[in-house]
């Protein structure tokens, strides 16, 4: 068995040595090109298919260079943090409220809230339904704005 394997490897080597001439595709090791950091790289597009090339002017593709510059990192770290907006906390005023997938009673119920539970108001729809999120479990949905209050009951 080992003799057959060695014979097969030798045959493959001989075939490649004899007929693996210049026409055979060769692998080229990828070496990073040393390009100046300030100049963009220009790539000329070529058409491989048999379709005719476009008749208009050929526009080169210019790729911007991305580099990590200490001055840029320092400038970004000195930038002020965005101001936190005050979350609008609303409280449930009814004994039990359905939380729905969409802003009407036609949407399915995804959860229930009880009187006094707090939720963060994301926005209010034109029809009076409010999009809320519960901070503890992350549940989001819509409730009728009639059952929300600014103060705890």
Cα radius of gyration rounded to whole Å, the chain: 33
Beta strands in 12-138 (DSSP E): 41-43, 61-63, 88-92, 96-100, 109-114, 118-124, 129-133
Residue 95's pLDDT band (boundaries 50, 70, 90)? very high
**Better pLDDT: 86 or 29:** 86
Residue ranges of domains in the chain: 88-149
Once rounded to an integer, what is the mean pLDDT over residues 6-17? 84
Give residue 35's pLDDT.
47
Give residue 97's pLDDT.
93
Written out in words, the top-level CATH class of the domain with range 88-149 is mainly beta
Give residue 115's pLDDT.
92
Strand 61-63, strand 41-43: pairing: antiparallel
Where helices occur in the chain by DSSP H, the ranges are 2-19, 70-77
Segment 115-149, tens digit of pLDDT: 999 999 998 999 999 999 987 778 899 999 999 99
Segment 35-80, tens digit of pLDDT: 455 555 555 555 555 556 666 666 666 666 665 566 656 665 665 6
Beta-ladder partners of 91 = 118, 149
**Better pLDDT: 8 or 153:** 8
**Better pLDDT: 108 or 29:** 108
């Amino acid at each position: 068995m080992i003799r057959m394997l060695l014979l097969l490897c030798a045959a493959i080597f001989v075939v490649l040595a004899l007929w693996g001439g210049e026409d055979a595709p060769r692998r080229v090791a990828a070496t990073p090109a040393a390009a100046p950091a300030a100049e963009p790289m220009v790539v000329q597009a070529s058409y491989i298919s048999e379709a005719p090339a476009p008749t208009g002017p050929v526009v080169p593709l210019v790729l911007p260079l991305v580099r990590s510059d200490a001055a840029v990192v320092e400038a970004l770290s000195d930038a002020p943090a965005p101001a936190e907006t005050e979350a609008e906390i609303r409280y449930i005023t009814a004994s039990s409220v359905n939380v729905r997938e969409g802003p009407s009673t036609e949407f399915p119920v995804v959860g229930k809230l009880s009187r006094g539970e707090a939720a963060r108001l994301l926005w209010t729809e034109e029809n009076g339904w409010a999009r809320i999120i519960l901070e503890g479990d992350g549940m989001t949905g819509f409730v009728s704005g009639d059952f929300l209050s600014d103060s705890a009951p």
